[in-house]
Amino acid sequence: MAQPAVPLKPQPQMENPLYGRDFLDFADFTPLELQDLLTLAIEIKEKQQKGIAYQPLVGKTLGMIFEKASTRTRVSFEVAMFQLGGHALFLSGHDTQIGRGEPVCDTARVLSRYVDGVMIRTFGHESIIEYARYSTVPVINALTDLHHPCQVLADILTLWEQKGSLKGRTVTYIGDGNNMANSWLIAAPKFGLNLRIATPPGYECDRRVVEQAKGLAKLHGTDLVLTHDPVEAVKNTDVIYTDVWASMGQEEEQQQRLAHFAGYQVNAKLAGHAKSDYLFMHCLPAHRGEEVSADVIDGPNSVIFEEAENRLHVQKAILVALMSHDHKNN
C-alpha cells in the first residue's frame, strides 16, 4: 500500500530561524540555538515578574495531545499559551479518534488545518516522529519513553540561574536510564556540561543515545562517565539528579525495581560526597523514601520547585520561537 505524500512545513524566516520547526529532542538543535532558547526564556520570565504583558501568540492555538497522565506539563503549557495571548486545546488520547485507531498521519494532517502547533505527551518516540513527519505545523515533544527535552531545558535554565554559569559544571544523574537520562545525554555536551550517569546493571541508557552522546562529548570537549557506582558518580558534582524508579507504564515492575535500585537512593550519606553547595534536582512527581530521602528533597540544596516553575518559562520560549516568526521584534 502506497504511503501518503509528506506535506511540507513552512520554511524558517530570517527574523527567526526556529520558526516552523519541531522540538522533538536536543539532537536537532545547535548549541547556539539552545542557548538562544534559554535567553528567550529568561527574557519572558523577567517580563512576567515585572508585570509586562507579552502576547506574541494572539490568535494562535496549540493542540495538546495527551496519551500519558500529566500535572506540570498540562498546566504549564495551558497557562503558557493563555499568558502569551493564545489558546490551548486539551486532547485526551482516550477521547479522540487517534485513541481508537485513526492513523497518526491522518490525525496530523487534520489538526494541521485547525491549529498552529501541536504538543504531544505519549509513549513510543516513533509515534511523535511519525506525527511530525505529516504535520505542517510545529510539533513539540512533551514527553516520550525515549526523550523529555522540555523538562531538561527547564533543569538547565534552573542550573544557570542558580550557579550563574554552565560551562564546566558537572551534573550527576542517579537511577534509571530512562527518558530523562537520555535527554541529559544529548543536552549536556551542547551546553558545555560534564555528565555522569550511575544506573543499576541492566537499567542503562539507550545504547543508540549513548553512542550519540559520546560523539557529542568528544566534539564539545566535555566529560561523559557511565557507571554503576553512585558514590563515584557524585564525587564533587555540582548537581545530583534523580527520577522515579518505575515510570508510567512500568508499574508492574515496581517491586522488582525497588530491590534492584536499593543502593541508588539519593540520601544525605550519598549527597555528602558532592560539593557542599550542590543542587538537588528531580523532574517530579517524586516518591520520598524511594529514589530520594525526604531530608534531601526538602532540604536546603533542593531546587525542585524552581525547576517546576521554569517549565512554564522554557515552554513559553519554545512556543514563541516555533510559532511566532518575528518574535524578536515583539
Q: Write out the three cell numbers for 255.
A: 517491586
Residue with cell 500529566: 70
Instruction: Count other Cβ atoms within 10 Å, centred on residue 136.
Output: 15
Residue 34: closest CA among 222, 209, 188, 137: 188
Beta-carbon count within 10 A of 149 CB: 27
Residue 70 is assigned to a ligand binding site: yes
Annotated ligand binding at 205? The verdict is no
- Residue 248 labeled ligand binder: yes
133 carries a ligand binding annotation:
no
Which residue is catalytic, options 21, 151, 206, 325? 151
Pick the catalytic residue: 196, 257, 283, 327?
A: 283
Q: Are 274 and 234 in contact (CB under 8 A)?
A: yes
205 catalytic per annotation: no
Tell me if 309 sits within 8 A of 157, measured CB to CB.
no
Catalytic residue among 21, 311, 313, 325: 311
Q: Which of 21, 147, 148, 313 is catalytic?
A: 148
Would you say 8 and 136 are in contact if contact means Cβ atoms under 8 Å apart? yes
H-helix segments, the chain: 31-49, 72-83, 104-112, 125-134, 149-163, 179-190, 207-220, 230-234, 254-260, 268-271, 294-297, 304-323
- Determine contact, residues 272/261, Cβ cutoff 8 Å: no
Q: Is 207 considered catalytic here?
A: no
Distance CA(234)–CA(170), nearest Å, equals: 9
Does 283 participate in catalysis according to the annotation? yes
Is the Cβ–Cβ distance between 236 and 274 less than 8 Å?
yes
Determine whether the annotation assigns residue 72 to a binding site. Answer: yes
The reply to whether 194 sits in an annotated binding site is no
Q: Is 189 annotated as a binding residue?
A: no
* Cα distance between residue 244 and residue 266, in whole Å: 11
- In angstroms, rounded to a whole number, what is the distance separating the alpha carbons of residues 158 and 305? 10
State the catalytic residue, choosing from 25, 36, 121, 205: 121
Active site annotation includes 35: no
Within 8 A by CB and 6+ apart from 11, the residues are 20
Please tell me whether 283 is known to bind a ligand: yes
Catalytic residue among 21, 243, 325, 327: 243
Binding annotation: 70-73, 97, 121, 148-151, 179, 243, 247-248, 283-284, 311
Binding annotation for carbamoyl phosphate: 70-73, 97, 121, 148-151, 283-284, 311
Binding annotation for L-ornithine: 179, 243, 247-248
**Active-site amino acid positions:** 121, 148, 151, 243, 283, 311
